[in-house]
Amino acid sequence: MKVLVLGVDGYIGWPLALRLLSRGHQVSGADSFFTRKRVKEVSSDSALPIQSFSRRNSFLRDTTGKEIEFFRGDVSDPDFIYDMISETEPDAIVHLAEQRSAPYSMLGLKQASETMQKNIISTMNLIYAVKDIVPESHILKLGTMGEYGTPNVDIPEGFFEVEFNGRKDYLPFPKNAGSWYHWTKVHDSNNLMFANRVWGTRITDVMQGVVYGTRTADIVDANQFTRFDIDEVWGTALNRFCAQAIASLPITPYGKGGQTRGFLSLEDSITCLTIGLEKPPAKGEYRVFNQFDQHYSVMELALKVKEVYEKEYGHKAEIKHVPNPRVEKEEHYYKPESRKLRELGYKPQGDLQKDLVRIMEDLSGYRDRIEKLKQVIMPKTVWEKSSGFSH
C-alpha cells in the first residue's frame, strides 16, 4: 500500500512511518517543521534529542535500505498538497499535520485564528485534492477525544440513537470541546463528514486519547527517537509528569486533578493507526474510532508517576496542585465507548507501570537537557485571560 503521512516529522508521524515501512508499505511524507519552529519559539526543545529529518531518513536508508519520499511544505497551501498527491497517488493519506497545542491556541487572537486557518484549511485542501485526484483513496484524519468534552452520559463512537419528543434518529453525538485547538478538530470532523456525504470519500476520523511514551517496537536506537515535548505549551500530561519527576521538579496536576481522559501508549497509537490503514473503510463510508486504551484521572497518573519514580530512583517525588489554567470540569462522569478498533483486532499492549519505567529510563539519559528546560515545564498560561490581537 502507498501511504502519504502528513506531519511525518512529528511525535506520531515519525514512528508511524517507521511502522508502515517495516510492514512493507511504501511511505511518502510531508512536513513544514512547524512544530520544531514553534517549540523553539517558547524556548523549549524535545526532551529526547532528535535528528534533522534528512539525517533521520539517511539513518533509515543506511540501516534498512528503505526511506521516506519526503516533501517539505505546508499542507494549508493547496498547490503543495495537489502537486504532492498527483505525484504520489497514495492509497491512503494520514493527516497529522495540524497545529496540535491547545495552550498555544489559547494564547490570544493571533494564535487562535492561526489554529483555525491552518487546521481547517489543510483539511479542506486534502478533501478536494482527494476528490479531484485520487477519489478512491482513504483519508485517515487525527482528531481527539477532546472533541466530545465531558458529557454526563456515555460517549459513543461518533453517532448515537437520539430520542426526542417521541421520535428517533441516528445522529452525530454533540461535540463540546475545551479549547480553540480542540474546536478546530470538531470543525474538521464536521467538514469530513460532509465531504463523505457529498462525494462518498472514504474517511476514518480518529478520536484519539492522550498519547504517552518514548518507544515503539520500531524505535530501538537513539537515532530513531521521536520528539518528546515536555513544556507547558507543547507537552501533554503524562509525558510532562515523567519529565518533572526526572528533573526533580514537582509533578503538577491542574486543579483538583479529577479531570479524566482516555490515554494510550505510543505503541498502541501506532498499532491502531496501522489497523485503520490496513483495514480501510468501504467506498462511501465515514467511520469514527474512539482510540484509547484506558481512562485515568490526571491525579491517578500523577500518583502513578510518583510511585514509579520513587521506587526506581529512590528519591522522593512531590505532587503540587497548581491553579488550573484551563476552563474545564475537575470532577465529572466519563465513560467513552471504544469498540470498533478492538473489533478490527486491536489488543492494547499498554502496561502503564512498565511504560513509565521505560519513559523514565529514556529521559534519565538526558537529565541535563531536561533540567535546562525547567523554566518552560511549569504552567503559566491562563486561558480565561488569553490576550487579544494587539496586546
Q: Applying CB under 8 A, which residues contact a second copy?
A: 78-79, 82, 108-110, 112-113, 116-117, 120-121, 124-125, 128-129, 131-133, 151-154, 156, 160, 162-165, 167-169, 171-178, 180, 183, 186-187, 190-191, 194, 197-199, 327, 333, 383-384, 387-391
253 vs 15: CA distance, rounded Å: 28
Number of CB atoms found within 10 A of residue 37's CB? 9
With cell 454526563, the residue in question is 152
Q: Is 170 a catalytic residue?
A: no
∠225-230-233 over CA atoms, to 5°? 125
Q: Say if CB 118 and CB 35 are below 8 A apart.
A: no
Minimum CB distance to a second copy smaller for 188 or for 218: 188
Q: Say if CB 189 and CB 13 are below 8 A apart.
A: no
Given 11, 148, 181, 286, the catalytic residue: 181
Which class for 295: exposed (0-12), middle (13-18), buried (19 or more C-beta within 10 A)?
middle
Minimum CB distance to a second copy smaller for 73 or for 78: 78
Given 123, 144, 150, 184, the catalytic residue: 144
Minimum distance, C-beta of residue 157 to a second copy, in the bound complex (Å) = 13
C-alpha grid cell, residue 184: 478546530
Q: Is 320 a catalytic residue?
A: no
Q: Is 185 a catalytic residue?
A: yes
Minimum distance, C-beta of residue 110 to a second copy, in the bound complex (Å) = 8
Minimum distance, C-beta of residue 55 to a second copy, in the bound complex (Å) = 34
Q: Say if CB 202 and CB 138 are below 8 A apart.
A: yes
Minimum CB distance to a second copy smaller for 126 or for 277: 126
Given 118, 185, 306, 340, the catalytic residue: 185
Minimum distance, C-beta of residue 45 to a second copy, in the bound complex (Å) = 30
Minimum CB distance to a second copy smaller for 46 or for 88: 88
∠121-389-44 over CA atoms, to 5°? 75
319 vs 303: CA distance, rounded Å: 8
Three-state DSSP class for residue 346: coil
Minimum CB distance to a second copy smaller for 343 or for 384: 384
Minimum distance, C-beta of residue 233 to a second copy, in the bound complex (Å) = 18
DSSP state of 95: E
Active site residues: 144, 181, 185
